[in-house]
Homo-oligomer: A and B are copies of this chain.
């Protein structure tokens, strides 16, 4: 039963304290229990929850979509068939995003590949650019 305050949660999750209250208002996180003075009492699990929200935002989901994704996870409201259908839709969404990211990455790799391959600072790229993608260099 180690509870943390909102300020502690904010610090540990790397967000503003006001952001947490905002997420609560938007229904992204449940209203936490309070102490007698009305202070919000969070658990350390909430740290991961907030971080997850931020990651989802980073890959192009709006808060509305994130709320929706979470409700799929939590098995709220829906019948099994609805859940399945909605989840499948979101999975396709995600697959599209991944495809687009792969394209973007390939593009950048080609860009980098166009100049000569000395002073390559990233070892991952070194392996990738050697004949991973169609990588012709016409100087």
Contacts and interface: CB of A to CB of B under 8 A. Distances in A.
A15 interface: no
A83 to B, nearest CB: 7
A122 B49 CA distance: 29
Contact of A88 (B69, B92, B94, B122): B122
A26 to B, nearest CB: 18
Interface size range on A against B: 35 or more
Contacts of A120: 84
A2 to B, nearest CB: 14
Interface of A: 43, 45-46, 48-49, 55-60, 69, 72-75, 80-81, 83-85, 87-88, 90-92, 94-95, 97-98, 100-102, 104-105, 107-109, 111-112, 114-116, 119-122, 125, 137-139
Contacts of A48: 137
Contact of A111 (B45, B57, B72): B72
Contact of A60 (B59, B74, B108): B59
Nearest to A44: B138
A101 B104 contact: no
